[in-house]
Amino acid sequence: MIHSQPNRIGLTSRQTLLLVFAGASLWFLAAVLLRIIAPMGALEGTMRGVSYALVIPGTYPFVLLTKWLVALRDDQMAIGIAVATTTALLIDGIVVAWFPAVYGGHLPQVTNCAAIILWGAGVALLLSFFMNKGEYK
C-alpha cells in the first residue's frame, strides 16, 4: 500500500504519483492534439491568438478533473497542479531537445507547439492559484 501520510509538500505519495501520471497524460494528449492541428495553421498568424485564447477555457476542465481524480483538497490545488505541470514541462523540454519529431520535426512547428505547451502550463498554474483555498482545517 502506498504511504498515506503527507510528504513535505503536503501531498500523499499516492497523490504525488497520480499527479505525475496526470501531468504526463495531459502532456501526451496536448502533444497529439498539437501534432494534428499545427500543420493546419492553428498556431500561426491570426489563428495563433485564437488557439492561445482557447487554451484558457480548455485547461479549466482538466484542472477540475485532476482535482477530482487525485482527490486534492482545496488547499492542495496550487501545489498539486504544480506537480502535474512540472511533469508536463519536463517532458516538453526533453521532447524539444531530443525528440522534436514528436511535434513535427520542423523548427517553426516545434517551437510553436512547445510555446503553446508553455502557455497551457502557465494557464493551469494560474487557475490553480485562483482555485487554491486557505489552510485545511
Per-residue pLDDT of the chain in tens (137 residues, 90 and over written 9): 455 777 778 999 999 999 999 999 999 999 999 999 999 999 999 999 999 999 999 999 999 999 999 999 999 999 999 999 999 999 999 999 999 999 998 989 999 999 999 999 999 999 999 999 977 55
Q: Which residue in this structure is represented by grid cell 520535426?
A: 105
Query: Residue 7, by phi and psi: left (phi above 0), alpha (psi -120 to 50) or beta?
Result: beta
Q: Cell digits for 135? A: 489552510
C-alpha span between 26 and 66 (Å, rounded):
10
C-alpha span between 32 and 58 (Å, rounded):
15
Position 4 scores a pLDDT of 73
